[in-house]
Structures are given as structure tokens and as C-alpha cells.
Amino acid sequence: MTWDWGAVADFMPRFWDGLLLTLQILAFGSLISFALGLVWALLMRTPSRWVRWPVGVVTEFIRNTPLLVQLFFLFYVLPEWGVTASALTTGVFAIGLHYSTYTMQVYRAGIEAVPAGQWEAATALNLPMTRTWRVVILPQAIRRVVPALGNYVIAMLKDTPILMTITVMEMLGEARLFAQENFQFTEPLTVIGVAFIVIAYPASLLVRALERRLVR
């Protein structure tokens, strides 16, 4: 077997298209998981068990079923009920929804780590509950959980190839299509493997640096 640089050159335009799509999926999926995870965490702290119980059941179900099953359900089953979306939209939402159940636990840990004295001080100042959360609790909690959230962003990056199963041509999808068309698998798949390392490893170093800086 010989390495074919010509195949690499031919694949690179597709690689850049796949990389751009991968980063878009990662960005929007992360936003959904961060926002929805915070919503889940806040709902789980409400006094009403009629809110906590359904939220707990839903999030446990999502967290304990495979992302691929959820992706297929959203893409193939929901249209039978009249709910349709593009493959890209479905994939981004599936990743964001799945990881929101993990970021929820991160937020809960961060909120519980806020010293009780902070709650007592807010009560002594007679701050409204919404202002207590917005000004006192959440800024401290989120500062603590940034590194953990970063780890889930890296995990989401490594899960983006799953979207290939519903025709979203991210990096691995483009590599597979190129390989099947040209009967050359080594070069495109090697390029994709290197690309994931080049993105994920520096990101992991950044997360570690943030953890040392913020969690002290």
C-alpha cells in the first residue's frame, strides 16, 4: 500500500466543507445543550414534585438511551406524526437534547456548590428570587462548571459523525462518500482522524487550563 497525495488533494475541498458543517453542528448543539440543561436544572429545583417528577423521568430516559436511537426516532418517527425538519436541524437538536441531560447534572452540581451563606445573604437583602438567581447564584455556579461543560463540548465533537446516518455530510460523511466513489479509504479516513485530534486535543488542554484558573 502506498500513500496517495493526489487523493488527499482531491479530498481536501470536501474535507473543508465537512469541517465547516461539523463546527456548525458543534456550535449550535452546544448552545442547545447549555441552555436546555440549565432549564432542566432549574426545573429540578422547583418545590413542586409535579414539575420535578416529569422532568426527572424525561431526562433519565434521554440520558439512558443511545443517541443513535434518539436520532432515528426524531428523523424517522416524528414525520409520521406530522413533525418534520431537515436532517441537519434534526441532528443538531438531537445532539443538543441528548447532552442537555448531562449538562443539567453539571449545573446542579455547580448550584449546590454555591455556599449557603450566599443564599442567606440574598434573603437578608430581601432580593427577589429571580434577582437572586440572576445576580448571586448563577454567576457563581456557572463559573465553577465551565470546565465540565467544556468536556461535554469535546464529547459532542466526537459524536458528530453519528449524524452521517441521517445523511448529514459532516467530516466523516464526506470522507466515506469520497472513499466509496474513488475506492480510496486510507487517505480520507486518515485525514479525518488527524483532524479530530487536531481539534480535540488543544480543546482538552484549554479545558484543563480553565479548570486550573476557575476552580480554585
C-alpha atoms less than 13 angstroms from C-alpha of 26 in its C-beta half-sphere: 25
User: How far apart are the C-alpha atoms of 115 and 121, rounded to whole Å?
Assistant: 10
Contacts of 97 (CB under 8 A, 6+ apart): 32, 33, 36, 62, 70
Q: What is the pLDDT of residues 137-156, one digit of tens each?
A: 888 888 888 888 999 999 99
Give the three-state DSSP class for 170. coil
> What is the residue-averaged pLDDT of the chain?
90
**Is the predicted pLDDT of residue 45 greater than 70, yes or no?**
yes
Query: Helices marked H in the chain — which ranges?
Result: 5-43, 49-63, 67-72, 87-113, 116-124, 129-131, 138-159, 171-182, 186-214
CB atoms within 10 A of CB 173: 22
Phi then psi for 64, rounded to 5 degrees?
-105, 15
Cell representation of residue 16: 473543508
What is the separation, in whole angstroms, between the first and last Cα of the chain?
A: 52
The mean per-residue pLDDT over the stretch 26-37 comes to 96
Q: What is the pLDDT of residues 85-105, one digit of tens each?
A: 999 999 999 999 999 999 999
pLDDT category of residue 116 using cuts at 50, 70 and 90: confident
The residue written with cell numbers 449550535 in the block is 28
pLDDT (0 to 100) of residue 80: 92
